Amino acid sequence: MDIYKIILIAAAVSADAGAESMALGSRNIKLPFFSAAVISFIGAAAMGICTAFSDAVCSILPEGLCKAAASVVIMLMGVFSLFRYFHDGRNGGRDNTDRNKDKSISAGEAVAAAAGLSVDSAVMGLSAGICGVTVMDVAALSVSTFFMGILFTVAGYIAGRHFAVKRSMGWLGGAILIVLAFVI
C-alpha cells in the first residue's frame, strides 16, 4: 500500500475525532491528553484488527470483486458522513460526549466516544485491507491512524477553544473518503 493512501486513510478516519473535539473545545469542555490518546488508540486498534481480518476475506473472494466492494463501501461511508454532517448541523448536533456534565471528558467518556468514532475506522480497515495488504501495511496504517488521530483530536480541540468555531470541519472526513474511493 502506498504511503499516500495510508496517510489519506488515517486522515479520513481521524477527521471525525477532530470535528468532535472541535465541538468540545468550542463549548469549553476539557479534553485531557490521556482521553485524546484513548480515543486515538481505540480507533487505531479497530483499524488494525479489521485491516488484518479483511486480508483473510480477500483470500476467499476474487480480488476484483474485493476491490470493487471496497471502493463502493468507502464511497458510501463518505456520502453518509457528509449527509450526517449536514443533517446534524441543521439540527444543532446531537453531542452527548460529556455524559456527567462536569465539563471534562474522562477516560470512560473517551472510551464511549471512541466506540462510536471507531466504527468508521473498522469499516475503513476492512475496505482498505481487501485491497491487499502486508503485515507492514497493517502496522503502518495502525500507527499512522493513532498519531493522526491524536493530532486531529488535539488540533480540533485547540481550534475549538481559541476560535470558538461555530461550524465544525466534520465534512472533511466524508470528502476525503469519497476521494479515497477513487484511488484505492
Q: pLDDT tens for the chain, 184 residues: list them.
A: 788 888 988 888 888 888 888 888 888 889 999 999 999 999 999 999 988 888 777 778 777 787 787 778 878 877 887 787 777 654 344 456 777 778 888 888 888 888 878 887 888 887 777 766 788 888 999 999 999 999 999 998 898 888 765 555 667 777 777 877 777 6
pLDDT of residue 93: 45
Copy the grid coordinates of residue 165: 468555531
By the 10 Å C-beta count (0-12 exposed, 13-18 middle, 19+ buried), 175 is classed as middle
- pLDDT score at 138: 87
Q: Write down the pLDDT at residue 129.
A: 73
Q: What pLDDT shows up at residue 94?
A: 46
pLDDT score of 114? 86
Residue 95's pLDDT is what? 56
Instruction: Name which of 170, 174, 173 is nearest 89 in CA terms.
Output: 170
C-beta of residue 122 within 8 angstroms of C-beta of residue 16 = no
What pLDDT is recorded for position 149? 94
pLDDT number for residue 35: 92
Calpha distance 37→30 (Å, rounded): 14
pLDDT at position 132: 67
